[in-house]
Amino acid sequence: MSEAAALAIEARGLTRRFGSVLAVDHVDLAIARGQIFGFLGPNGSGKSTTLRMLCGLLQPTAGTIRALQFEVPRQAEQLRRHLGYMTQRFSLWEDLSARENLTFMARIHGLSSVERSQRIDAAVEHYRLAEFLDRPAGTLSGGQKQRLALAASTLHAPALLLLDEPTSAVDPQSRRDFWESLFTLAARGTTILVSTHYMDEAERCHSLAILDRGRLVASGAPRTLMRALPLHVVEIAAADIEGARRALHELASLRSVAQLGLRLHALLDREEAAPLERVHAVLARHGVQAQVLLAEASLEDVFVGATLPRPEAA
């Protein structure tokens, strides 16, 4: 298999402008087949716009997209036969029952009546829809709606599944179940693109793209990103936590500091040769008693590091 065929998505210089706002700014993507690929970023970072361009819902202002073997947006119609899409907002018909929604989606994707009933039966079983199958979709809970929406968007066994913040309205247990389902789908060869602003979800992805104000600021496997973080992560436990915070701000190499319970979580430049000694020194100068140790970078540190204002811009 050639390298190009192994990629589900290949985008180069993807750019989208809304009036004077640059929503997506020259993003390059290469997403392998069968991966769960996450888009992590704050609201307004361009996650939804990128997903919408990848499936032909929005025209890119510049750049090229190849999704499966199709050129988007020119061949968007062909792509749609192999595409599942779950919108951020519940977009099935609330006045139709769960079963009627599934039947409609199966018919619109051209499944024969035999395939239809087989696939719907399988989905009802797998996504545990039986208890509310004949209730209007509008009366379902957030978790039930989400299971139904995922079932509806995968009935036709799409090769590419796009999920736009799918777990923003569900409880933690439902989120865990949802991700189990995604791994099952990925194991069957479905390429899944999912946007999120939850760190724990992003950490589950095979690969990640971190977006900030429309720009791709970091990408790679979560673990690789954490290991390659160009910052020292220092944790400080102190009784006088405010005093410690004030002291730390004297460090030129301090990039960010956040409080976690009774500890401070500080990010320092990699150029700082002896971070622990520097922190100890500055705390001692301010008379703050503290325990200081180096910590492993978390994905949140990666995210904070990637979305910090750039030094050259300051």
Partner 1 sequence: MRSPGLQRTLAVAAKEMRQLSRDRVTLAMVVGIPLLQMLIFGYGIDFDVRHIRAAVVDEARTQASRVLIADLGASQVLDFVAAPASPAELRALIDDGSVAVGLYIPPDFERRRIDGDRPVAQVLVDATRPGIEPAARAVAQAPLPMRAGLAQRPPPQIEVLSEYNPERRTAVQVVPALIGVILNMTMVIFTAIALVRERERGNLELLITTPVRSGELMIGKLLPYVGVGLIQTTIVLMVGMLLFDVPVNGSLVDLYLGAALFIAATLGLGLLISTVATTQFQAMQLGFFIMLPSILLSGFAFPFDGMPRVVQWLAQLLPLTHFVEILRGVILRGAPLSTMWLPALKLVLFLLLAMAAAAGRFRKRLD
Query: Among residues 22, 30, 32, 96, which is the contact residue for partner 1, using CB under 8 A?
Result: 96
245-260 burial: b if 16+ Cβ within 10 Å, else e = bebbeebebbbebeee
Is 20 among the residues that bind partner 1 (CB under 8 A)?
no
Q: How far is the CB of 178 from partner 1 (least distance, A)?
A: 18
Cβ distance to partner 1 smaller for residue 158 or 275: 158
Query: Among residues 22, 30, 32, 76, which is the contact residue for partner 1, using CB under 8 A?
Result: 76
Is 107 among the residues that bind partner 1 (CB under 8 A)?
yes
Cβ distance to partner 1 smaller for residue 191 or 207: 191
Cβ distance to partner 1 smaller for residue 57 or 199: 57
CB within 8 A of 72, min separation 6: which ones? 53, 54, 55, 56, 65, 66, 79
Element (H, E) at 29: strand 21-32
Longest dimension (CA), the chain: 77
Is 77 among the residues that bind partner 1 (CB under 8 A)?
yes
Lookup result for tokens 């139904």: 148
Q: How far apart are CA 185 and CA 153, in angstroms?
A: 12
User: Beta 231-238 vs 191-196: how paired, if at all?
Assistant: unpaired
Q: Segment contacting partner 1 (CB under 8 A): 2-10, 83-91, 117-125, 301-309?
A: 83-91
Q: Segment contacting partner 1 (CB under 8 A): 27-35, 70-78, 177-185, 302-310?
A: 70-78
162-174 burial: b if 16+ Cβ within 10 Å, else e = bbbbbbeebeeeb
Cβ distance to partner 1 smaller for residue 56 or 222: 56
Query: Among residues 15, 34, 100, 257, which is the contact residue for partner 1, using CB under 8 A?
Result: 100
Cβ distance to partner 1 smaller for residue 142 or 220: 142
| Sequence-ordered alpha helix ranges (H) in the chain | 3-6, 47-54, 76-80, 98-108, 113-126, 142-154, 172-187, 199-204, 222-227, 241-248, 275-285, 299-307
Q: Segment contacting partner 1 (CB under 8 A): 35-43, 51-59, 118-126, 199-207?
A: 51-59
Whether the Cβ atoms of residue 8 and residue 68 lie closer than 8 Å to each other: yes
Query: Among residues 28, 94, 200, 277, which is the contact residue for partner 1, using CB under 8 A?
Result: 94
Between residue 129 and residue 188, which ones bind partner 1 under the rule CB under 8 A?
Answer: 136
Sign of the four-CA dihedral 193, 197, 201, 202: positive
Binding site for partner 1 (CB under 8 A): 52, 55-59, 73, 76-77, 80-81, 83, 85, 87, 89-96, 100, 104-105, 107-110, 112, 136
